[in-house]
Amino acid sequence: MKKKMMILLSFAMLGLLAGCGGASKTEKQAEKDTLVFSQISEGKTLDPQDTTEQYSQRVITVIYDRLVEIDEMTGKIVPGLAKSWEQLDDRTILFHLNEGVLFHNGEKFTAEDVKFTLERAKKLPKVAHLYTLIDNIEVVDENTIKIHTSEPFAPLLAHLSHKTASIISKKYYEEKGDDGFYNPVGTGPYKYKDWKVGDRITLEANNNYFGHKPSIKYIVIRAIPEENSSVIGLETGEIDMTADLSAESRRLVLNNSELLYKENSGISVNYVGLNTAKGILKDKDVRRAIAMGINRDAIIKSILLDSVEKANSFIAPGTFGYTPEAKTLEYNPEEAKKIIKEKGLVGSKLTIGVSNSPIRMQMSEIIQAQLKEIGLDVTVESLEWGAFLTATGRGDLDMFSLAWGPSTYDGDYGYYPNFHSSQLGSAGNRSQYVNPEMDKLLDAAKKEIDVEKRKELYKQVANIIYTDVPVIPMYYANNTVASTKYVEGMKPTSYILFNELKFKVSDK
């Protein structure tokens, strides 16, 4: 694996943002109170317990807080709403909460809100597996809470940093119910202002925030499906910051001295999912043939310009449980062709679904051509993001192109939702994969507190994925962000901490 890297480069001036009279750019920048951020897709909900997709969670990250947080630059757990905690025994953690924290509507945050939120999360199917071993939540006083688990629960702290553990107001929810998420109330650094569906979400600074207070008054998060449009927006100044750049966009940004670029090795894996419950893909040998029919090196070189690392596992380095010795099937078209021919499947039709990413569309088209060489007739189907999630959740597609990043930095959240039989469909297991041995290993790893024994369990999980091929790991994505040169404090993280950003007032 390449060393973790951060790049901050700017090259020769192209003059694309040259001013034309009036106040200077620096003077105009000093007057700016709004940062416009673009991403490929619009979020689907602001209910933190009802989504695991990144586009919604980027907004949720700054509207709400969690008991603990993950520092994405280090992968370490750091204080959040809890200023400290104590592991009393292998089934009990005591949390000491920050005092004087207010929700955006002025109501006081207390331990009752933590208890209410986590008990709600336990009941919701998309995320219940993250909290299932929480047995009892005991409010000691309004600033102290004790969490008891039914068994040792190794990834508990990591799970409490997950965006679905974002704390909501008990009182507000009891008054508004789910309708309250159309005007959400959290404790985070930014408050909800409005949502123009299909266009933008606007957030306003929370000046009463207990943590790092925002210096930029408004954040506008725009959905711009065409990545090239985001880069043009950066060049013209209509957009201040964007993320998830392709290799080509990266090149354009690096060659413009008015723009800044940062990159870091991420923990997301881009993969091809195979519906193990559908048609010819029920056959493990066919899935293995497909894996051997895909030339990942060619895809990485042609589309990604060798800017990413080929995956050897479904979870990336930096995630607990990653196994350097893990492997995936390498390109072997002759063996793949042989399997398809011997099974009488030459000419068999398959569909691969893709959404929201030009890169994944290009990758799917190359896969289509590569699998034709081994005798399979693959159709690429492009779907809107919401329709794509519904189709893969129901198991409608034969294959699909997607990414997964365990934001908890723990293997439990990398493997469990994607491969445990209790998580079939929209909960995460879109490959519709069922294997009792896999279930047993994942259940054991969730409860194993011995670090080395837990690593060994995940090594066995990686071996089963290699053998059964419910997914084909393609490559590990880098975290990439770009901005105008007037944005300071930008870090290459999956979830942008907008409250740590500010506008540069002067070039001097």
pTM listed for this prediction: 0.84
Residues 273 and 372 in one domain: yes
Q: How many CA atoms lie within 13 A of 146 on its CB side?
A: 11
| Cα–Cα distance for residue pair 415/418, rounded to 1 Å | 5
94-152 confidence digits (pLDDT tens): 999 999 999 999 999 999 999 999 999 999 988 888 998 999 999 999 999 999 999 99
SS3 158: helix
Residue 386 lies in a domain: yes
- Which pLDDT does position 5 carry in this prediction? 38
38-65 confidence digits (pLDDT tens): 998 888 899 999 988 889 999 999 999 9
Contact 269, 427 (CB under 8 A): no
Structure tokens at 82: 């809890």
Residue 15 lies in a domain: no
Residues 49 and 72 in one domain: no
Examine the pLDDT at 291 and tell me if it is beyond 60.
Answer: yes
Residue 167 lies in a domain: yes
Residues 93 and 230 in one domain: no
Per-residue HEC secondary structure of 332-344 comes to: CHHHHHHHHHHCC
Domain count within the chain? 3
- Which pLDDT does position 307 carry in this prediction? 87
Residue 273 lies in a domain: yes
Around Cβ 178, how many Cβ atoms within 10 Å?
Answer: 10
Per-residue HEC secondary structure of 380-410 comes to: EEECCHHHHHHHHHHCCCCEEEEEECCCCCE
Domain that holds residue 311: 267-477
Examine the pLDDT at 421 and tell me if it is beyond 70.
Answer: yes
Residues 246 and 387 in one domain: no
- Return the CATH number at 354: 3.10.105.10
- Which pLDDT does position 72 carry in this prediction? 93
> Any bridge partners for residue 190, and if so which?
205
pLDDT band at 251 (very low <50, low <70, confident <90, very high): confident
Residue 420 lies in a domain: yes
| Cα–Cα distance for residue pair 8/232, rounded to 1 Å | 20
- Which pLDDT does position 26 carry in this prediction? 47
| Cα–Cα distance for residue pair 134/117, rounded to 1 Å | 12
**Distant-in-sequence, close-in-space partners of 234: CB < 8 Å, separation ≥ 6:** 240, 241, 242, 253, 259, 482, 483, 484
Residues 230 and 312 in one domain: no
Q: Between these two residues, 14 and 52, which has the higher pLDDT value? A: 52
- Which pLDDT does position 29 carry in this prediction? 52
- Look over the chain and give the mean of its residue pLDDT values, rounded to a whole number: 91
Examine the pLDDT at 19 and tell me if it is beyond 90.
Answer: no
What is the arithmetic mean of pLDDT over 326-341?
Answer: 97
The packing angle between helices 333-342 and 284-293, to 10°, is 150
Examine the pLDDT at 446 and tell me if it is beyond 90.
Answer: yes
- Which pLDDT does position 433 carry in this prediction? 98
What is the arithmetic mean of pLDDT over 420-449?
Answer: 95
**Distant-in-sequence, close-in-space partners of 174: CB < 8 Å, separation ≥ 6:** none
- Return the CATH number at 117: 3.90.76.10
Examine the pLDDT at 507 and tell me if it is beyond 70.
Answer: no
- Which pLDDT does position 357 carry in this prediction? 80
